[in-house]
Amino acid sequence: MSYSVKSQNALEMEQSVCHLANKEIDKYMSDVKKTQAVQDSVNSVIKGKEYVVRKVLAAVIAGGHILMEDIPGVGKTTLATAFARSMSLDYKRVQFTPDVLPSDILGFSMYNSATKEFEYRPGSVFCNLFLADEINRTSPKTQSALLEVMEEGTATVDGVTRKLPEPFVVIATENPYGSSGTQLLPESQLDRFMVCLSMGYPEHADAVQILKGNALNPLSKVEKVIGIEELKELRRESNDMFIRDEIYEYIVDLVEETRRNDIFSMGASPRGTIALLNMAKAMAVIDGRDFVTAEDVQSVVIDTLGHRVKLGQRARAQGMSMQGAMKTLIQTVKAPRN
C-alpha cells in the first residue's frame, strides 16, 4: 500500500471519528434543549422554585418516585399537573382521606350480569403520573397498596397481576407530621421514594408575580414540550451513562458513612445507594453530559438520603437539622477528583 493510500485511509478514519463525535455532541445538546424546555414550561407557573423543578425532572428521568413534604397551598398539585402536561403524561389524582380504599387505587372486579362474568375496572394508578395527594392522611392499609405499585410497576387484584403503563411515576404529597389527621409514613414506604423534596414559601418577589398572574388559570399556559417517547429516550441515555469506578466508590462511601457516623441513628439502605447513583446520572443528562461527576452526586445527597436516615442523639442535642447533617456527611467523605 502506497503512502498516499495510507494517508487517505487515515484521513477518512479521522473524519469518521469526528463525525461520530459531532453526532454525540448534537445528541447531548438536544437533551439539554429538551430538559430545559420542560423546566421552562413548569417554571412558568411555579415561581421561584427552580431547584425543586430540576430535582423533580431528574427523578422522573431516573425512573423514581417523588415525595413532597410541605404545608398545604404552596403549589404541590400544580407542580405535578404542570409536569404531566409538559411531558404529555396521562395524569390522575387521588385525594387521600381516611375512607379511601385500596380498590380505589388498584381497581376492582365487578360482576357483569349480561356476560355472567367478572370484569376488571382499572384503578387510578393506571396512568403515567399518579398524584397521591396528602398520602399521610389515609389508612395504613391503603398506603400499603401503593408498595407493590411503586416497586414493581404492577397492580395485583383478585390474584391477577397487571402491568402499569410505561413510564409510571408517583408524586405523593404529605403535610408535616403533627398536622391535623396526619400519621407517619412507615420506613418501608419512605424508602420507595427516590427523593423527598420541600417547596416552602415563595420569596417576596415571587409572591408578587403569583398575585399578578392569579386572574388567569396558570396551568392554561403549560403546553406539551416533549412526548413520552422522548422521555423514554432520556431514560435510556441516563441508564447508559459512563460511571468511573471512583464515583461508584464515592457513592458507597457516602452511604456507609450514614451507618457508622453517630450523628445518624439509622443509616441509608442499599436502595438508597441505587437512588443516589440514578439521580446523579439523571443530573448529568440534564446538564448534557455522558459522564457523572462528584458534584452530581453531592447535589442530590440530601434529596435522596435525607428521608432514609434518622438523626442520632448527638445531632439532636446539638440542634442539628437534617440538611446540616447531610452537609457534614459530604464534608466528611473525601470526594474523587474529576
| Tens digit of each residue's pLDDT (9 = 90 or more) over 41-91 | 999 889 889 999 999 999 999 999 999 988 888 888 889 999 999 999 999
Cβ(123)–Cβ(86) below 8 Å: no
- Cα–Cα dist 272/10, whole Å: 48
Cα–Cα distance for residue pair 167/228, rounded to 1 Å: 8
pLDDT score, position 257: 97
Nearest CA among 303, 299, 305 for reference residue 335: 299
d(CA 104, CA 77): 19
CB atoms within 10 A of CB 188: 12
- Cell numbers placing 231: 422521555
Q: What is the pLDDT of residue 6?
A: 47
Out of 135-139, 174-178, 238-242, 262-266, which region has the weakest mean confidence (pLDDT)?
Answer: 174-178
Cell 441508564 sits at which residue? 239
All structural domains of the chain with their residue ranges:
44-227, 241-338
| CATH code of the domain occupying 44-227 | 3.40.50.300
pLDDT band at 30 (very low <50, low <70, confident <90, very high): confident
Residue 249: pLDDT over 90: yes
pLDDT mean over 143-170 = 89
Whole-angstrom distance, CA of residue 15 vs CA of residue 17: 5
Alpha carbon dihedral 77, 161, 192, 93, in 10-degree steps, equals 10
Q: What is the pTM of this model?
A: 0.87
- pLDDT tops 60 at residue 99: yes
Question: What's the pLDDT band for 111 if we cut at 50, 70, 90?
Answer: confident
pLDDT on residue 295 = 97
Longest Cα pair distance anywhere in the chain, in angstroms? 85
CATH T-level topology, domain 241-338: Helicase, Ruva Protein; domain 3 (1.10.8)
**Higher-pLDDT residue of 241, 337:** 241
Asked if 85 contacts 79 with a C-beta cutoff of 8 angstroms, the reply is: no
Q: Matching CATH topology for 44-227 and 241-338? A: no
Check residue 19 and give its pLDDT: 44
Candidate from 37-46, 169-178, 276-285, 286-295 with smallest mean pLDDT: 169-178
Position 27 scores a pLDDT of 66
Confidence band for 25, pLDDT divided at 50, 70 and 90: low
